[in-house]
Structure 1
């Protein structure tokens, strides 16, 4: 039987009825829901919370997002989400990310959203990645008999009446490429020269000097102290030929050109200031990680720099939804962006709807703009732990960088991540974390200065 040992023991000892639903092994619960072919609304999930008084399990529909402030107010406790490592200590018989929403089997007190109790039957994780279980209403009532019932989930604008936003609809919007802010006029020419064999760096500098915005950006980088030969230079020629080099100039121009003027507010948790800080930290840390796992430094830098670009693009294409997303992010600091995006952009039964989010949107745009395949994959898959496939090394480098940065409060991703597993998948030892943390410490002053000097 493909169930976690404690859950199986609890159900069989009490003679509780359930039906096992076999699926192909899935890397995460999202993928398991897709593999089942059933509606998201048929599933319930567990969100694990912790404070000084212990662990609490909140049980709610899979297509809903926990309202953490409401839970804190109801309980009078300062509960915060468990980390993946803390969760594994309690649910050691479960696959990571597949915690069964059956707290009584693990002696964990339960809060349950009142909407769950209306279900005729529910599907849920059985603790393994290759099977789900289905419970009828009577069994569910028995398992949740001692749970505290209340309204626990977020209701955004439009509530349950909002329709789902499909990838086809997003792709249609992105095909109207004229709607997007244009790149700086000289950017395509600069990028071509910077990536062409035999191009002369001095000629590249002359073209950059024709664009005041790019000139200022290049000089800020050259003076930042992030490079071995950095210093107080006032010459674009010296910045290009003596400090940065053609490839780094290409990256700077590419990042600046793609961000453009997306009319996203500068301040706030999802504002451009936070976005650009996260992008730079992730880029430079990814660049440091790459040589240790046989990856190209420059490509890793570009993947880190552009992986989150779908976020300002969301703000540009869907300003009202982005405003709501920003409010939910502020109000629910422990929730994953994936779950909040699902709440804002609606729910549905199609696989497409589970893929909607800033990662998928950024990946689509990068493909439209014909960026390198590793950059496309890093953008599209960085929210999916356990990804295997084309360019998986670059995806995992970005995921590892995000996981390490999350501990510093940098970035917007609060998905469960498993840094030891990511290290192992990249062939790295656990003690590499200390080296990467030192890298972050050494980069911080210059990256913070560079971010704060960036014009809005």
Structure 2
């Protein structure tokens, strides 16, 4: 059925006609809305909240994030977001993640943001991956009859039409308006060394040993239980030649040195602790995936390690907005990062162009820093579901790695992905995916310890 059965039955019973809008099957509601080509200011979605008294649905604009304090003021209850798994259980005839914002069809009490009720037309999920539905204002009013309304979203953000900017225009604005951090000198020297096919382990070791802190971190890395080296490691050169190899040392040293360009808080969901935990896990997984896909392992590792630098740049340039983004991330765990970034940066302020997302911003930075093209593309496109184009394999590896890490609470995205589809796009079957997934459990403790040491 194109539309979920209970939704269709409810709207028919209420005399609320709708028009079905077939779309290509999508992995998530965000992807479906973005790919539909429909005006996002017409899109409506639902956030499910819960407390000891039960579940409440909040209906709001797609480009808005709910204000939990406003909800509490309206109904006197301190609610928290319902997990994706719990939400899916309440909508048995819907595809996971595609819960329609018509709570009455599922016997769920509804709050509605007052802006929704004034929409001339509303577009929403029909409960399936392949259909959206459109309702005029009269039908929408019937569908939401009995819902309690009020100011329920963060105001002044994500409202109104925005002129789309190309990435070249965004790059131009960034360079013109802000002093972008240059790549640190040590990182530049390491990067140059990696492009020299005749560079030796001794030259790399000597370069690293100019920096005592970097030396200590590389030595700690080489002695990790990850590598099971039975002997004693006494120098960086030994770490390169006996344990880690030239590429791995160069890439981790490059990442450590490059991070010094940013002044970002250590703690919180988007802090440096979480950044390193995410980056090291993603780098490990990308290298592991490259072994299965026949891709360059060193380049895949670097793509995973550096793909989230856009978040660091945002935090470095806009600490106040970064704090706001961090707060939204913590209170809206099942909302995509792209939607949250639209809230913070898309409100008609001077930084509106940053609403392209941290992925695109990171890709711009990597291009300015003259990093390898696959690294630029993996950073720039990892937020774009269904990407097809140049260096697609590396983008997909980063996306699949992030998808696998979500289940472990690692990263900045926790909304569901179509992990099997991502794996299939890389030619991986269920057995290969299960083996890779198991590898994460075997190394996560060591990677967590390394992340803690790198962020301290």
TM over 0.5: yes
CA–CA distance in structure 2, aligned partners of residues 178 and 205 of structure 1? 35
Residues 381 and 387 in structure 2, CA contact (< 8 A), matched pair in contact too? yes
Aligned to 2:282: 282
Q: How does 1:123-202 map to 2 (within 5 A)?
A: 123-127=123-127, 132-155=132-155, 170-175=170-175, 179-202=179-202
Give 3-state SS (helix, strand or coil) of 1:454's partner: helix
1:327-350 Cα shifts (integer Å, max 9, x gaps): 3334444433222211110257xx
1:415-455 Cα shifts (integer Å, max 9, x gaps): 32233443444444445565445423332332222222225
Unpaired stretches in structure 1, ≥5 consecutive residues: none
Q: In angstroms, what is the RMSD of aligned CA positions? A: 3.6
Q: How does 1:268-417 map to 2 (within 5 A)?
A: 268-347=268-347, 356-417=356-417
Unpaired stretches in structure 2, ≥5 consecutive residues: none
CA–CA distance in structure 2, aligned partners of residues 111 and 271 of structure 1? 33
TM-superposed CA distance for 1:315, in Å, is 1.0
Q: How many pairs does the alignment contain?
A: 451
1:240-297 Cα shifts (integer Å, max 9, x gaps): 2222221112211321232223111222222212211211121112222332344433
Aligned to 2:81: 80
Aligned to 1:42: 42
CA–CA distance in structure 2, aligned partners of residues 53 and 427 of structure 1? 46
CA–CA distance in structure 1, aligned partners of residues 158 and 243 of structure 2? 53
Query: Please, what TM-score do these two structures have when normalized by structure 1?
Result: 0.83
1:79-114 Cα shifts (integer Å, max 9, x gaps): 43342x665565566566544323344454433223
Give 3-state SS (helix, strand or coil) of 2:414's partner: coil
CA–CA distance in structure 2, aligned partners of residues 353 and 98 of structure 1? 29
Q: How does 1:46-61 map to 2 (within 5 A)?
A: 46-49=46-49, 56-61=56-61
Residues 3 and 131 in structure 2, CA contact (< 8 A), matched pair in contact too? yes
Query: 1:432/1:355 Cα in 2 relative to 1: closer, same or farther (>3 Å)?
Result: farther
Give 3-state SS (helix, strand or coil) of 2:112's partner: strand
Residues 184 and 258 in structure 2, CA contact (< 8 A), matched pair in contact too? no
Query: Please, what TM-score do these two structures have when normalized by structure 2?
Result: 0.83
CA–CA distance in structure 2, aligned partners of residues 418 and 294 of structure 1? 23
Residues 123 and 132 in structure 1, CA contact (< 8 A), matched pair in contact too? yes
TM-superposed CA distance for 1:45, in Å, is 1.2
Aligned to 1:234: 234
1:334-393 Cα shifts (integer Å, max 9, x gaps): 433222211110257xxx969611111112222333333332332223233444444443
Aligned to 1:453: 453
Give 3-state SS (helix, strand or coil) of 2:185's partner: coil
Aligned to 1:214: 214
CA–CA distance in structure 2, aligned partners of residues 133 and 321 of structure 1? 34
359-368 or 31-40: which moved more? 31-40
CA–CA distance in structure 2, aligned partners of residues 159 and 25 of structure 1? 26
Residues 100 and 124 in structure 1, CA contact (< 8 A), matched pair in contact too? yes
TM-superposed CA distance for 1:314, in Å, is 0.5
Give 3-state SS (helix, strand or coil) of 1:126's partner: strand
Residues 165 and 345 in structure 1, CA contact (< 8 A), matched pair in contact too? no
CA–CA distance in structure 2, aligned partners of residues 119 and 259 of structure 1? 45
Query: 1:124/1:177 Cα in 2 relative to 1: closer, same or farther (>3 Å)?
Result: closer
Query: 1:152/1:340 Cα in 2 relative to 1: closer, same or farther (>3 Å)?
Result: same
112-121 or 379-388: which moved more? 379-388
Aligned to 2:120: 120
Aligned to 1:17: 17
Give 3-state SS (helix, strand or coil) of 2:115's partner: helix
CA–CA distance in structure 2, aligned partners of residues 373 and 322 of structure 1? 27
CA–CA distance in structure 2, aligned partners of residues 164 and 269 of structure 1? 31
CA–CA distance in structure 2, aligned partners of residues 420 and 70 of structure 1? 38
Query: 1:298/1:159 Cα in 2 relative to 1: closer, same or farther (>3 Å)?
Result: closer
TM-superposed CA distance for 1:56, in Å, is 4.5
Residues 14 and 142 in structure 2, CA contact (< 8 A), matched pair in contact too? no
Query: 1:53/1:388 Cα in 2 relative to 1: closer, same or farther (>3 Å)?
Result: farther
Give 3-state SS (helix, strand or coil) of 2:454's partner: coil
1:11-58 Cα shifts (integer Å, max 9, x gaps): 445543334456676665445545565542222112345678776433
Query: 1:368/1:91 Cα in 2 relative to 1: closer, same or farther (>3 Å)?
Result: farther
Give 3-state SS (helix, strand or coil) of 1:179's partner: coil
Q: How does 1:60-79 map to 2 (within 5 A)?
A: 60-68=60-68, 71=71, 74=75, 76=77, 79=80
Residues 94 and 127 in structure 1, CA contact (< 8 A), matched pair in contact too? yes
389-398 or 1-10: which moved more? 1-10
Give 3-state SS (helix, strand or coil) of 2:111's partner: strand
TM-superposed CA distance for 1:9, in Å, is 4.5
CA–CA distance in structure 1, aligned partners of residues 191 and 69 of structure 2? 47
Query: 1:438/1:162 Cα in 2 relative to 1: closer, same or farther (>3 Å)?
Result: same
Residues 23 and 36 in structure 2, CA contact (< 8 A), matched pair in contact too? yes
197-206 or 69-78: which moved more? 69-78
